[in-house]
Every structure is written in C-alpha cells, then in structure tokens.
Amino acid sequence: MKTALITGITGQDGSYLTEFLLAQGYTVHGIIRRSSVFNTNRIDHVYKDPNAVNGHAQLFLHYGDLSDPGLLTELIYNIRPDEVYHLGAQSHVRVSFDMPEYTGNITAMGTTRLLEAIRRSGVRPRFYQASSSEMFGAAPPPQNERTPFAPQSPYAVAKLYAYWMACNYRDAYGLFACNGILFNHESPRRGETFLTRKVTRALAFMLSGKQRTVYLGNLDARRDWGYAPEYVQMMWLMLQQDQPDDYVVGTGQTHSVREFVEDAFAYVGIELEWRGAREHEQGIVRSVASRWDHVLRPGDVVVQVLPKYFRPTEVDVLQADITKVRQRLHWEPRVLYHDLVRIMVDYDLLFEGLEPPGEGIAVEQTLGYTWIQQPPYNVTGGLDSYQRMPIKAERRLASTVAELLAQVESDDLVE
Ligand code: NAP
Ligand code: G4F
C-alpha cells in the first residue's frame, strides 16, 4: 500500500484528503504546527493514537513547519512517501497584504524548502503543488492552463513563485510534480474567515440569536465556487497519471459575493434587499419566514459593508475553463454553486444546534460521499452539535463571554 505525506493536513483540504486517502488504503503522514491550543479539530475524528492501537493506525502526525528545512528533509527521508501533497500555506489573500513577507516565506519559500528536502533526501515521491486560481488575478475570464498569470496580491505572487518552482523541479530533476490550479472550493470545514463560511456561520449565529450583523467587504467580486471534497479527489487523480502535468479545476460557473449572501439567506426563507452604495451598502431583511420571525424582522440590517474588508487590489472575476480536466481526467464537478450554498448553510445550522432545511445534506448523501466521515462536533468550535439540535432560538444579545467572543471573531477580527 502507498504512503502519502501531507503538509497542511489540519486545513480544510488536508482533512478531506486525509479521509479520501485513508479510504483508499493509504498510510497517511501529516505535518502539524506546534500550537498552544489544539489545532487538529478537522482530523481528530480519523486520528487513532498509534500508542493506543499499535499496528492499526494508518494516520501519523509529526510536528514540523514549512519554515524549518532540516526537519522537512528528515521527515521526507524517514517517511519515504510515495506521494507528497503540499497544501500547507498562509492561505488568506487579505491577510497576505498585512503579512507579505511572512506569506512569501511560508507560501513561496516553504515550497522550495520542501522540494529541496525531496531532492536532497534522494527519495522520489510524486509531488502535488496546491496552486491557486488567485494567480490569474486580473486576467479576464474564463481562465485555463494557458491563460497568462496576472497576480493581484502578495499571496498570489507567492503562489506563482511556488508554481514555477514545481515546474522547475519537474524540468530540471525529472520530479513527477503536478500543479493543481484550483479555483475557490468550500465546505462546512472552510476556515471561518473566508467569505462563504463567514456568511453561512453568521447566518446560523443570527438564527440562534447570537449575532445581528455580518460585516463584509466587496460584494461585487465574482468567484467560481466548488465543493472541496470533489477537489481533493482531483489532487490524487493528477498524481495517478502516466505523466506529470498542470490542471485547472473549477466548476465553470461564476457568482458574486452578493449572490452568495442573498442565496444563503433565501435558503432559510429570508429575503434581503440592498440599500446604499459600495462602501456604505447594507443588506436589509425584506421578509422572514415565520420560523425565524422571533430572531429577525423586516428592516433589520443583517449585512453592513465596511471599507476595511476591501483589498488594496481585488480579483474581480474568476471562472474556470475546465476543458482539460474534462478531456484528460474525465472529470465533471457534481456539486455546483446552489447545492454548495445549501450544504454549507445546513451544516452551520447543525453546528449551532438548529434544525437545517436538509436539502444540502441530502445532496451529499445522494452523491455517495461515503468516504467523508463527518466529525461529530463543530469542526471549528468543538461543540457536539448533533447532541444539541434542535434548540429554541431567542432574540437576545450576547450575554456570556463565549457569545461576546463569537461576535468579536465574526465581526471584527475576521478578514
Ligand atoms: P487552509 O484551510 O487555510 O489550511 C492551510 C494549512 O496550512 C493548515 O493546515 C495550516 O496549519 C497549514 N500551515 C500554515 N502555515 C504553515 C506553516 N508555516 N508550516 C506548516 N503548515 C502551515 O487552506 P485550504 O483551504 O485547505 O487550502 C489548502 C491549500 O490549497 C493552500 O495551500 C491554499 O493556499 C491552496 N488553495 C486553496 C483554495 C481554496 O479555495 N480552498 C484554492 C486554491 C488553492 P494550521 O492549521 O496550523 O493553521
Ligand atoms: O473567501 P475569500 O477570502 O477567498 P479568496 O480571496 O478568493 O481566496 C481563496 O481562494 C483562492 C483561490 O482563488 C485560494 F487560493 C485562497 O487560498 C483562498 O482559499 O474571498 C472571496 C471574495 C473576495 O473577492 C473578497 O474580496 O469575497 C470578497 N469578500 C467580501 N467581503 C470577502 C469579504 N472575503 C472575506 N474573506 N471576508 C469578507 O468580509
């Protein structure tokens, strides 16, 4: 059986990829960062302590960091993986404007350190580089493998460097290296500071009476949003081909941030209208389904645009041209935008102990994502949500420290 090493195993994609590879019979090793709090929430449900179940564990975790080249070399040498999935990165575009040097160090140079660790160790794994549609930046849509890159953020510039390093190690040393140029992909495990999850989580908080308003930036940017579990399967598929190559992965559709907000609210029966212009715009409740009229009323301001969430340079439109993956890898996305919205809202309601409409969860089940082992808790908050549902939501303001923190996190710190 094959052995895989994953950087970024604690992230959204790392967790789904781990489940997928374990389901394929792989032994999986992952690099985790030392943290003063637990940072393995997304993979705890598949981790068995190797000391407790000696001989049966298939998932092994190692402390490490993309800033530590010696350790990376040691890990590659000792683990001798057949496949390396390099997903670790400072992955937040807005944050990369605040931390450009750190982003370059981890997202760009971290890739070089890992590639050098592979070269110096003498081990020859197949290598997956988590490249990004953000690299297309200002290039007009639809974007494909031949579209010239026009990066618009320190993150995109760092990813572009990493992209070319993977190409260079393929050309110079014959490494089986693939760039997956993935468009935005989301899930109930998406980090809470990315747009989709920020919105669906805020909606669930509003419906449980914990939050009144979500503060957002540019409502008019458009993204090609897909479903993360489908995209990690593509990472694996790229490494199973006869020849290494680079592939664009997306849905081919594009939707605006504004649409995402409207559709998330509409799914639970809340209709919004917009007032004001650009940096002063507000999303206001026009009508509310009777189920939620004890927490939200017509006229409530549920979305407030704040200038601080705008980026110095924005990527206006991303839309994938997926001709190559269709033709070469025979792939077609099965979860498209509207089902993605439903899936994310369903789970955030569940995580809040509220009964979801359930159409999104039904889609997941119908499509047979049997290798996904939904953690029996809120992947980000540690709450045993399945035990708590349903509870009665009430209209009230934060009254405990935990609720205050939840508001601060969603309103002020989240980018
Ligand atoms: P994510 O949830 O933000 O996960 C990032 C992972 O990188 C986490 O496990 C994080 O560890 C780890 N990491 C950060 N800094 C590190 C360091 N210095 N050393 C070692 N590990 C470090 O990202 P994702 O959404 O799963 O995305 C996976 C990869 O695909 C990233 O490289 C991202 O840039 C790229 N990508 C994502 C998308 C998308 O739409 N999701 C699209 C295109 C490309 P902690 O948990 O300790 O923070
Ligand atoms: O969810 P986002 O932060 O994702 P973004 O910037 O597109 O980057 C994600 O996708 C990339 C692939 O294209 C990945 F490489 C990257 O690692 C990451 O996963 O923002 C989406 C859009 C942007 O246009 C942003 O300006 O939403 C807009 N937006 C509006 N208000 C907001 C907000 N984004 C965030 N995070 N927070 C807001 O309040």
**Rounded Cα distance, 193 and 12, in Å:** 12
C-alpha distances in angstroms, 283 versus 65, 96, 109, 275, 395? Answer: 41, 28, 41, 7, 19
The ligand 2 site (C-beta within 6 Å) comprises 91, 93-94, 132-134, 183-184, 193-195, 198, 216-218, 221, 223, 257, 309, 311, 314, 318, 415
CA angle 185, 58, 18 (to 5 degrees): 0
Ligand 1 pocket test, candidate residues 5, 12, 13, most atoms within 8 A of CB: 13
Q: Is the CB of 12 under 6 A from ligand 1?
A: yes
CA-nearest residue for atom 38, ligand 2, is 216
Distance 271 CA to ligand 2 centre (A): 24
Q: Is the CB of 343 under 6 A from ligand 1?
A: no
pLDDT digit string (tens) for the chain, length 415 residues: 999 999 999 999 999 999 999 999 999 999 999 999 889 999 998 887 777 655 677 999 999 999 999 999 999 999 999 999 999 999 999 999 999 999 999 999 999 999 999 999 999 999 999 999 999 999 999 999 999 999 999 999 999 999 999 999 999 999 999 999 999 999 999 999 999 999 999 999 999 999 999 999 999 999 999 999 999 999 999 999 999 999 999 999 999 999 999 999 999 999 999 999 988 999 999 999 999 999 999 999 999 999 999 999 999 999 999 999 999 999 999 999 999 999 999 999 999 999 999 999 999 989 988 888 877 655 554 444 333 333 333 333 333 334 434 444 344 444 5
Q: Is the CB of 104 under 6 A from ligand 1?
A: no
Nearest ligand for residue 318 CA: 2
CATH superfamily of 3-182: NAD(P)-binding Rossmann-like Domain (3.40.50.720)
Please check whether the two domains, 3-182 and 195-223+256-313+336-367+386-413, share a CATH topology: no
Determine the 3-state secondary structure of 182 from DSSP.
strand
Q: What one-character DSSP code corresponds to residue 317?
A: B
Angle between helices 257-267 and 195-207 (to 10 degrees): 30
**Rounded Cα distance, 138 and 393, in Å:** 44
**Rounded Cα distance, 415 and 153, in Å:** 15
What are the sequence ranges of the domains in the chain?
3-182, 195-223+256-313+336-367+386-413
Tell me if the domain spanning 195-223+256-313+336-367+386-413 has CATH number 3.90.25.10.
yes
Q: Tell whether the torsion through CA atoms of 403, 405, 410 and 412 is positive or negative.
A: positive
**Rounded Cα distance, 8 and 86, in Å:** 7
Distance 191 CA to ligand 1 centre (A): 10
Angle between helices 109-121 and 69-79 (to 10 degrees): 40
